[in-house]
Amino acid sequence: MTTLKSIYPLYLNNKAAQPNTDLEVTDKFTGEVAFRVAQADAATINEGIAGAVRAAESMARMASYERQAVLQHCVDRFKQRYDELAYALCVEAGKPIKDSEGEVGRLIDTFRIAAEESVRMTGEVQPLDISPRAKGYQGIWKRVPIGPCSFISPFNFPLNLAAHKIAPALAVGCPFVMKPASRTPLGAIIIGEVLAETDLPEGAFSILPAHREGADLFTEDDRLKLLSFTGSPGVGWELKAKAGKKKVVLELGGNAAVIIDHDADLDDALERVIFGAFYQSGQSCIGVQRIIIHEAVYDRFRDMLVAKTKTLVAGDPKDRATFIGPMISEGEARRLDGWIQQAASGGATLLCGGKREGAMLEATLLEKVDRASAVYREEAFGPVALLSKFSSFDAALAEVNDSKFGLQAGIFTRDLFKMFDAWDRLEVGGVVINDVPSYRVDNMPYGGVKDSGLGREGIRFAMEDMTEIRNLVIRRR
């Protein structure tokens, strides 16, 4: 059986360091301390940033094939450590083991895509002779690394969302410092272990779990040229305000909606909506929170959803039969439980679920929810979904847009006109047809609008953010 070590280091300028064992990381199901991790102070973070600055030129000068070799090494080693990575994720995040294995697969995909893209970063020859004054002039531009980057990753996808920052940085030749979530640091630490096996220039990476004290350097230090943050909107926008001159990429929250039109294949939609709403206990920024159903099929689909939801197995995430594991903490489960009870007190109908024990919250469905309630307006980030009814497609689109968030939306329909109409009108970063908004492939442009963030992830698109265009003008005499 897979086991974990009791103590893990941080990584400073490519090397393991064990200055302390201050960070206790719990098994999210049992609540017991599973292992301890070193924690960086302000001096350590400063040293990591200084190392990244020193490494910037060497990283930029790495040949494409050398960057590709580093990324391919990661792919190979992650495959070899597949079971360990999945088990670590299951323990530190409380993610059911099948979901944990799926995330390790995505980690491998993300580094593989980056390895492929690392040798495809091209520029363009541009004619400049658009007027008599520019006759004989020619332009050429290329992309160059932006320089030292700062990455802050969240607790819900500790492997793959860290990978979506680390892999494109390596692909373009940017050194980086990373602060993983304190609740789930081990995924990033294991990535650091694998990177330490390579010949990257000293200072190319530092992975630094950290106290909030001193962690302001990740955001405010002017030596850093880009900040990429994934997490809550409240924190993300505050960090942007403090980031100074550096480029900022934010992947924040959502309260994603899915439309079930009258012509949808309801059996197919049922399986996908159950996955989208309750996968990893709903702790996904593109988890299905609002289910908007055509009145002609509302009663039937509602009954199907309730029946299916009641069959979901909740319990120990290490058990392969488990579908619903614990939320990340009892405090988060209490928060969402409070929102559910508040909605029910305000007139909503509780269709199923609604009970909590510690960090375990039952898969919950509500209908007739007041649109002013917190569970409707805010990001639930847990196993709850709200059902509503529509009669016109225009009204359904308006309901999707009735949110301060705009990450992704899903639509089950066979009508091509409606598909393109939704693509034109929905205020979201991505529209998914005949699947849930929770669907993501790791090479696609992914990100949101409104309070859901700035910029796009997906390897090629992140690589663009981590590079700058450098132009060359030639006067031909």
Instruction: Please list the alpha-helical segments (H only) found in 157-224.
Output: 160-172, 186-195, 217-220
Please state, as a whole number, how many other Cβ atoms lie within 10 Å of the Cβ of residue 441.
10
Three-state SS string across 312-344, please? CCECCCCCCCCCECCCCCHHHHHHHHHHHHHHH
Q: How far apart are the first and last CA of the chain?
A: 72
- Largest pairwise CA distance in the chain: 80
Q: Which of 201, 218, 256, 206 is nearest to 379 (CA)?
A: 256
Q: What's the CA gap between 208 and 188, in Å, rounded?
A: 9
Helix (H, G, I), strand (E, B) or coil at 263: coil
The amino acid at residue 84 is E
Q: Would you tell me how many other CB atoms lie within 10 Å of the CB of residue 241?
A: 10
Name the packing angle between helices 82-93 and 186-195 (round to 10°).
Answer: 150
DSSP state letter for 134: G
CA 83/CA 90 separation, integer angstroms = 10
Q: Which residues is 176 bridged to in the sheet?
A: 149, 205
Task: Tell me which residues are annotated as active site.
Answer: 251, 285
**473, β-bridge pairs:** 139
Structure tokens at 373: 């309630």
* Token pair in block for residue 245: 């001159």
Non-local (6+) Cβ contacts of 55 within 8 A are 13, 148, 175, 200, 201, 202, 203, 204
